Amino acid sequence: MKNKLYPWVLVSIIILLAIAITHKQTAQEPEKIDVGFNQQGKDIASTDEGTLIIFTKIDITEFLIEPTQRLANIVLFNSNVLPGFKINYNFIESELEAGLPIVSSKAPQLIDGNMHQIGYTYKKNDKQELFLDGIKVASGVFTGEQKPTMLTGFAVKESNELISAEGIEVLSFEKALTEGEIKEIFNNKK
């Protein structure tokens, strides 16, 4: 009886291995995509110094993501005046990112459906500061240039569909506002 079962056990193991290998080869990581807001022509006033204040109420249910896709970034602001400059919520890392070069801070509460203020000030070859709800969360030197980045092995597809501007308001100033001025604008908007 043992000799008759042995070939069937061996065949069963081979079939299970073939199924496992095939499944592993066909299982793919979802395509990472970025989505952005329609800024309706708003941009930075100067490449040397300025402030951007964004009021946004992000509700994750607004994003229509297909099962084959994974949300990577929510682009809150993307400059045409200063290439590479954007204010971004990295959905995978739960980080708010901005600047050239990028400064970032953990911001897990940003997509909770409540109104939030993102403030960003910059002065070329001096400083850049990132604020969330009137509180400074990150800072660094603003060069106005991108750092070279390493290839990460996956492609990020920019979404062609922009979310309506109803969920975002962008204010642009030609000077770097102080932390107190940003906090005052936040408190007046509440």
Tell me the domains of the chain and their CATH numbers. Answer: 31-189 (2.60.120.200)
For 26-150, where are the E strands, in sequence order?
31-37, 49-59, 69-78, 86-90, 95-98, 103-106, 112-123, 128-132, 135-140
Query: What is the pLDDT at residue 104?
Result: 96
Query: What is the pLDDT at residue 156?
Result: 40
| SS3 call for 123 | strand
Query: What is the pLDDT at residue 118?
Result: 95
Query: What is the pLDDT at residue 173?
Result: 92
pLDDT in tens, 48-73: 999 999 998 877 777 777 778 888 89
Query: What is the pLDDT at residue 146?
Result: 74
**How far apart, in Å, are the Cα atoms of 87 and each of 54, 73, 121, 187?**
9, 10, 12, 21
Distance CA 78, CA 57 (A): 18
Query: What is the pLDDT at residue 24?
Result: 57
Distance CA 71, CA 31 (A): 8
Query: What is the pLDDT at residue 89?
Result: 93
Query: What is the pLDDT at residue 158?
Result: 44
Angle at 112 between CA 109 and CA 65, to 5 degrees: 110
Which parts of the chain have pLDDT scores under 50? 150-161, 165
Query: What is the pLDDT at residue 155?
Result: 38
Distance CA 49, CA 21 (A): 56
Query: What is the pLDDT at residue 51?
Result: 96
| Residue 107 phi, psi (nearest 5) | -150, 65
